Amino acid sequence: MADAPATKVAIIYYSVTGTIDTMARRLAATAEAQGAEVRLLAVGREDAQGQPGSDERPQQPTADDVVWADVVLFGTPSRYGNVAGRLKVFIDSLGAQWAQGQLADKVYAGFTASQTLHGGQEAVLLSLYTTIHHFGGIVVSPGYTDGSKFVDGNPYGVGHVTGGGNDQPVDDVTNGALDHMVTRALTVSRRLNG
């Protein structure tokens, strides 16, 4: 029997000081290690700080990347407890694809970061998922489906707290939660498309 086609994953994010960028790259590496075809895509590259040089920065996403994907993972820092405007501008550019039903029936999940412990992570992810419901997307949040979720404590997606100096590195707890979320998204997508 021929091998099943690789699951196509678009990781689309906004990051200024590098936290979401680091999380996105972890998701990409884990997905690729599981045989997925990954597009790592960053909006708003021009104001990135402390991140790889322009040659190493991911491409900007296009609507075609979302249409192409089986799994879409959106990443955004908390901006006053909401999705960052730069990512939202990209999402809001997808009206034509939405109208044609091209955003439906895919697996979606989100990841975020905030400076403070209660800096809006759950609100950010729920706000993001409101849009996914309008797409007719399939939100595959991690829930408490793995022991690791009782450690990082976020059933809505993955969130990292960057701390007062905005400098707490992405650690084993966050990486474990990212690995679990992307593995679950791939598993559900393969069941849907299998």
Residues binding ligand FMN (CB under 6 A) = 15-21, 77-81, 113-116, 119-120, 162, 166
CB of 169 to ligand FMN, least distance (A): 11
Shortest-Cβ-distance residue relative to ligand FMN = 119
Residue number, 162 or 189, with CB nearest to ligand FMN = 162
Amino acid symbol at 123: A
Smallest separation, CB 187 to ligand FMN (Å): 27
The nearer residue to ligand FMN, 166 or 183, going by C-beta atoms, is: 166
Which ranges in 15-84 belong to alpha helices (H)? 19-33, 63-68
Tell me how far apart the alpha carbons of residues 63 and 55 are, in angstroms, rounded to a whole number.
22
CB of 118 to ligand FMN, least distance (A): 8
Paired strand residues for 110: 74
- Identify which of 22, 17, 5 has the alpha carbon closest to the alpha carbon of residue 111: 22
Q: How many CB atoms lie within 10 A of CB 122?
A: 16
Q: Of the two residues 44 and 190, which places its CB atom closer to ligand FMN in the complex?
A: 44
Complex with ligand FMN: residue 110 or 119, whichever CB lies closer: 119
Q: How far is the CB of 124 from ligand FMN (least distance, A)?
A: 9
Instruction: Confirm if 51 and 80 have CB atoms less than 8 A apart.
Output: no
Q: Pick the closer one to ligand FMN by CB: 115 or 148.
A: 115
Could you tell me which residues come within 8 angstroms of residue 189 by beta carbon, excluding any fewer than 6 positions away? Answer: 7, 70, 71, 106, 107, 140
Q: How far is the CB of 143 from ligand FMN (least distance, A)?
A: 23
